[in-house]
Chain A
Amino acid sequence: MSYQSGRMGTAEGIALVFTMTFTTIFVTLPAELIETSGELGWISEIASGLSTMAMLFLFIYVFERFPGDLFYVSTRLLGKLGACLISIYYIVMFFSVATLLIRDFSENTLFAALPELDFHLSVGWYALSVAFLLYFGIEAIARAAYVILPFSAGGIILAFALLVPHYKPYYLFPWQGTGMTNALIKSGVLVASNAAAPLLAVIAKSFQNIRVLRAAAIFGLGGSMLIKSTSILILIIVFGPSAAMERTLPFFEMTRLISLNRYIQRIDSIFIILWVIAGIFGITISLYMGLYLITRLVNLPTMKPLIPIVTLLLAQIAMIPPDASSVRALEGILVKGYFLIGIYVIPLLLFAATLLNKKRGTKCASE
């Protein structure tokens, strides 16, 4: 039998990583990448995807030797204080991701779907939806993500296909944009589009085995990397780099261009279903990760009482920035600084600690 009770398999792992990392194509990140790397924005996305994948493999290396979840493994390798610091870091990181997504998707909803809706109601709606879903647990959420994954990916591919009449490949030239080196370096900094990928480490215990983690890292992150890279590429060839970097909601604005004939035109609203679902999933999964780490950190028997309180708090925080530009500024600070620790520093630290541990173990054995 290919499923075990209470343990998630490859499909769920892939769905979780894919859903958490591809959500950024619905917000401003593609435009930011184009702003940084110009015509090579799509290469930057691939490079950032690959570097995140490499870091995930460092995690997997660690978990191969020390089966358990992030909290357990970091306690084993870095002691209780180290585990606490790492957990607190990731709690803040996942809650930041969740808060930013709540704000971004609330703004999206006001801008693209319900312009007359009250802002607070929009934020409240996402918070309520997420809180409701959290009660069903990660297993049900991951399975639902897997059920919806083909529709999400299919919907995006369909949108790209319907945009064919608007493709202008010459927008890709000069193809080196701001320069390959710059693109690769910036990709390392803008890796934050995959900031939530370490979720595999956080709940590693919930997966069946290391093979599942490996498959989730390769196919989940790889799939989302391809989709995001293609999305940036198409954004460039549809709008041109200079116009593309000014788009606040690139995907939505691309779908607005779809006009094949008198029956297939202005179908951007149909894609609302797609990005609303992706957004709610993204918020739910990041919130779950933060809550999971809290329960592990303070050794709580369940996270359920925390759900309404934390969701309400994050919704309140999401409402603090006065406008979209201040949200982007805050996002910039987090992306270029704070999130990099979770993607680069902690995996390397744990990897180094594992190597050291292994060396010590060998030494002890030889002694």
Chain B
Amino acid sequence: MRANNVITNGYYFLKKLLLYQPPSDPTPFVLEEAPDNKPSKSDQLTGELANSFQDLEAFLRYAHRVIAFLTKANMSLSQGHYSDKTKNLKIEYQALEKQQSELEPILLAYQSGQGVLGERSLSTSLEENRQIIESLYHLPLNKDIVIREIDIASDPLVKAMAIFIDGMVDTKIQNLAIFQPLMLLGSDQRRLYDGDLVDNIIRKYLPTSQVQRAGNFAKLQEGINGGDTALIFDGIAEAILVNTKGWEHRSIEKPSTEPTVRGSQSGFTENLRTNTTLIRTIMRNSDLVTELFKVGQRSQTTVAMLYIKSVANPQLVAEIKRRIQGVRTDDLESSGTLIQFIEDHPLLPFPQSLSTERPDRVGPHLSEGRIALIADGNPYIHILPVSFFTFFHASEDFSLPFPIANFQRFLRLFGTLIATVLPSLYIAISYFHVEALPTQLLLAIAGSREDVPFPAWFEVLIMEISFELIREAGVRVPGVLGTTIGIVGAIVLGQAAISAHIVSPAVVVVIAITGLASFTIPEYLMSAAIRLIRFSLLLFSTYMGLVGLATSLLWLTVILCSMKSFGMPYMVPIAPRTTAGFDVVVRGPVYSQKQRPDALNTIDQKRQPQISRPWKKKQPAGKEDEE
């Protein structure tokens, strides 16, 4: 027992204070690697072999018994003593049936050990198919999968089951197109097993537009996971996949990130089929091909590749197809992820494909010979290959008269130049080449900087980072609040920073113009790349002035000239020099756009005939006789 006096209390207090004792709290949770519970290889082999041996012996015994029964039945029937022996044979037959049902799980287990379940063919046994499906979908743990057993009235009765994922099917279609005709409208007189049962049912009893036959579990799963209802029949090693897709999805809305004044107002959705339909409504051409691929070993995301077969370069089509089919990943989050897997320069910030949520933007690009990629579940469609100058086209350029479209394009290019170099130019001139500024402007800048305790580069950096923060916050904050925060944040922060003498008004003006100019770039990814580049230019000009700026601009130009967008030089039609088709950098009048972009090397180079306005050569209406 511990003596309770000042000395011992002091001793224990000091001991507790100085000596480490492990905490009495439970160990916090740490996700560890899966324990290695696998038996050793020799044990495993011995165990597996022993089990297999026993299983095979059981099958062998059953087989001997069947042979003995058949011999006995043959002899009895040949001797003609029907009445006496039939009874015994019946009893023996029932015993055999029982033994077979006992052996069924062993057979299933044996078959399941023969390879990946999903790759196996369907069995004739309904029970076996059910067991495999339960195993594939982890039933009864998985609550989304519904297996509905039905009896189809026929002679003999057809036992069947319908498998589907709850929520992915349209129950109305399912009831009207599958269950009603099979269950309610049948009769005991029909003989479905005569001939090909699957064919009979497809032809006569399934009033739905899309029906497929599936012979293996891989196809069966693909259909079920895609919203189809699978029908499996007893005694038939084949299933029917009925198209009952009907999950909830966003309807067609206005494009949120690409607003236009004069363009169409419909945007893509998350549904692949809606998106392909939207494109087809714009490009009603039988040459428009939609090829489908599954990408993502686990996500099995459907990717659609659209192109006009009579226009697009077959080599380009084959290459894109090769790249898509060569993607090995678990999960494909979006079309942007797919592009990162297949583009030429994934380490560079410049986008190599044009992403858009506007169908009216995809149509003209397809007709120029480009390829569109759609990933299911993502409203952004990627167009490829593209040139650097494509990113400065807005969707409404197509519907504007060419002088206005060109003016806007040059304004955007000028905006890009400002957004790229203005802060660096300000730093370079105000640090190293002040003589280039008119005296009064120089005095004004010097005066405004008098009370600021930081160097100019630090001011610019603070403002640039603040601007980026406001922009990012504005995007992340939901709804109207985002815009408000953006505007209020910019005004309040700018004003407060000037009042607190943290930055000079000149820097605020420079950053505001730069920020404004960066919004003129229509493509979000290009705008982000320019913003990133701006920081490196700032670094160079801070240390080397205009020499640093010139060097970094030269590096940038060479990098851009070395890039390729899916094999096509990124800087066409300028570097290398190609025929632009009058709508790459400068947009010509619509009637002068006779050629498709040369760099795409399309099958059909001609976009429209030499005379695209033959009406100009004819007499006006009402004066035909004067011709």
List the interface of chain A (C-beta within 8 A of B). 1-3, 8-12, 109, 113-114, 117, 125, 129, 132-133, 136-137, 139-141, 143-144, 146-148, 262-263, 265-270, 272-274, 276-277, 280-281
Contacts and interface: CB of A to CB of B under 8 A. Distances in A.
Interface string B422-444: 00000001001101101110000
Interface in B533-571: 544-547, 549-551, 553-555, 557-562, 569, 571
B576 interface: yes
Contact of A125 (B544, B559, B572): B544
B576 A2 contact: yes
B201 interface: no
A10 B599 CA distance: 16
A3 B579 CA distance: 10
A275 to B, nearest CB: 8
A210 B222 CA distance: 58
A125 B577 contact: no
Given A129-B555, A136-B562, A144-B558, A11 B547 contact: no
Contact of B435 (A136, A266, A280): A266
Contacts of A144: 554, 557-558, 560-561, 575
A133 B555 contact: yes
A109 B545 CA distance: 11
Given A3-B577, A3-B599, A272 B550 contact: yes
18 contacts: A2-B578, A3-B572, A3-B577, A9-B576, A114-B547, A129-B555, A133-B558, A137-B562, A143-B571, A144-B561, A263-B438, A269-B429, A269-B546, A270-B436, A272-B547, A276-B550, A276-B554, A280-B551
Interface of B: 429, 432-433, 435-436, 438-440, 544-547, 549-551, 553-555, 557-562, 569, 571-572, 574-579, 598-599, 601
A277 B558 CA distance: 11
Contact of A113 (B432, B555, B572, B574): B432
A147 B436 contact: no
Nearest to B576: A3
B558 A269 contact: no
A114 B544 contact: yes
Contacts of A263: 438
A158 to B, nearest CB: 15
B569 A125 contact: no
**Residue of B438, B558, B572, B599 with most partner-chain A CB within 10 A:** B558
Q: Of residues B546, B555, B599, which shows the largest number of chain A Cβ atoms within 10 Å of its Cβ?
A: B546
CB-CB nearest 9 A-B residue pairs: A140-B562, A143-B575, A269-B433, A276-B550, A143-B561, A3-B576, A11-B577, A273-B550, A272-B546
A280 B439 contact: no
B554 A147 contact: no
B149 to A, nearest CB: 61
Contacts of B560: 144
Given A125-B544, A136-B558, A280-B551, A146 B439 contact: no
Contacts of A268: 436
A109 B544 CA distance: 10
A10 B557 contact: no
Contact of A281 (B433, B554, B572): B554
Given A267-B436, A269-B433, A272-B546, A2 B598 contact: yes
Given A129-B554, A144-B557, A10 B436 contact: no
Contact of A136 (B547, B549, B559): B559
A160 B395 CA distance: 41
B581 to A, nearest CB: 12
Contacts of A113: 432-433, 545-547
A281 B550 CA distance: 11
Given A3-B578, A143-B571, 18 more contacts: A1-B598, A1-B601, A2-B598, A3-B569, A3-B576, A3-B577, A3-B599, A9-B577, A113-B545, A133-B554, A133-B558, A137-B562, A141-B561, A146-B577, A269-B429, A272-B545, A272-B546, A280-B554
A140 B555 contact: no
Nearest to B605: A1
Contacts of A143: 561-562, 569, 571, 575-576
B264 to A, nearest CB: 32
A140 B551 contact: no
Contacts of A280: 550-551, 554
B435 A11 contact: no
B473 to A, nearest CB: 35
A117 B431 CA distance: 13
Contacts of A267: 436
Given A1-B599, A132-B555, A148-B557, A262 B438 contact: yes
A109 B547 CA distance: 8
A48 B550 CA distance: 31
A196 to B, nearest CB: 18
A214 B403 CA distance: 37
A8 B575 CA distance: 10
A267 to B, nearest CB: 6
B217 to A, nearest CB: 45
Contacts of A148: 554, 557
Contacts of B545: 113-114, 272
Contacts of B572: 3
B214 to A, nearest CB: 44
Among B429, B545, B551, the most chain A Cβ lie within 10 Å of the Cβ of B551
Given A1-B599, A269-B429, A277 B547 contact: no
Contacts of B575: 11-12, 143-144, 146-147
Nearest to A264: B438
Contact of B547 (A2, A125, A140, A270): A125
A232 to B, nearest CB: 25
B547 A276 contact: yes
A1 B578 contact: yes
Contacts of B546: 113, 269-270, 272-273, 276
Contact of A277 (B433, B554, B601): B554
Contacts of A277: 550, 553-554
Nearest to A113: B547
A273 B553 contact: yes
A276 B562 contact: no
Contacts of A276: 546-547, 550-551, 554
A139 B561 CA distance: 8
Nearest to B439: A262
A132 to B, nearest CB: 6
A11 B576 contact: yes
A139 B557 CA distance: 12
* B550, B598, B599 interface centre (most CB from chain A within 10 Å): B550
Contacts of B432: 113-114, 269
B573 to A, nearest CB: 9
Contacts of A141: 558, 561
A2 B577 contact: yes
Contacts of A269: 429, 432-433, 435-436, 546
A10 B435 CA distance: 40
Nearest to B552: A129
Nearest to A271: B546
A74 to B, nearest CB: 29
A143 B544 CA distance: 26
A146 B598 CA distance: 19
A140 B561 contact: yes
Contacts of B439: 262
A191 to B, nearest CB: 28
Nearest to A276: B550
A237 B579 CA distance: 41
Contacts of A146: 574-575, 577
A223 to B, nearest CB: 15
A63 B172 CA distance: 77
A137 B558 CA distance: 9
Nearest to B548: A125
A140 B551 CA distance: 16
A277 B561 CA distance: 15
A12 B433 CA distance: 33
A144 B432 CA distance: 27
